[in-house]
Chains A and B, each alone.
Chain A
Amino acid sequence: MWFVFTIVYHGVALGALYVTMRQFPSMNGWDFREMFFLYALWMAGHELHNTLFFTVVSVPEYVREGRFDRFLVRPLDALFQMLTVPQQIVPDGLILAIATLAAATVAANVRVDWIFVIFVPLVIAGGALIDLGISLAVATCSFWFIRIDTLRWVVMSLEQDFTRYPISIYTRGVRIVLAFILPFAFMNYFPATFFLQKAETGLHLSPAVGLLTPAIGLAWLGAAYAFWLVGLHHYQGTGS
């Protein structure tokens, strides 16, 4: 059932993109095949995050029900304990994402050389870390607001929207935010620009910045972790 769920979720997004781009073949110089690759790269990082780190998303639930408090009295980092909550890992989304990325690589005629082989897994891992940073920041908000279901849902859908198109379609301020403040552009736009050997027309950076994704992922996760620690310090429990 959940496999169908994942297929339909991504299928609808790609279907809408395909139909739109039959009518409008160029999006700031990107054709459908390149957009497909762009989407597949985001999807791989996102699904890797969903497979390994999904328990972070349940932090608000733990907080609400008072189950979070037991992590605080144990002599281990609370986030580490949260990430290692026993759960069933179902990698079907990840498998689908890798298959999609392989198809997109062929469709977009991406040259598969040693740089590709080394850096694509690193970029996917970096993308998953960026995603984890976002989840962590959202989860941290639950220390103050307790119920954040809507926020979680909104951030998830905005992430999908803002990673779907080349950032050059946005105004300059938004491009800068997407590159350096909420680094969604490093999940797929910069790396895709590099692998597709396109000119980067959003911020006129060298396409090679796309290879920095793993470093950006670590830095962003570090910032989110600092925010988490502040939240943890503030945390008072819900009394339940």
Chain B
Amino acid sequence: MTTEIINGLTTFITTQIIKRPDKELALDTPLISGGLIDSFSLVDLALFIEDTFGVQVDDTELNAETFDTLSELVNLIKSRQS
């Protein structure tokens, strides 16, 4: 399950947001504070998460405080799925 989420998120971020399918994302890469994802693209990430994993992520949660890395994001999704 976790692997599926990681793969889904990685594919979405590398192909749709940073548009570099050749890139690999480490679980601890800072996505927001590291300058990979900006506020405009965070909305797309939230929409993708809602559609794909069936959990709600509100706009007000889209910031580095709620999650900044892939592993934090996976934990957020998993905690809402259960």
> Is A bound to B?
no
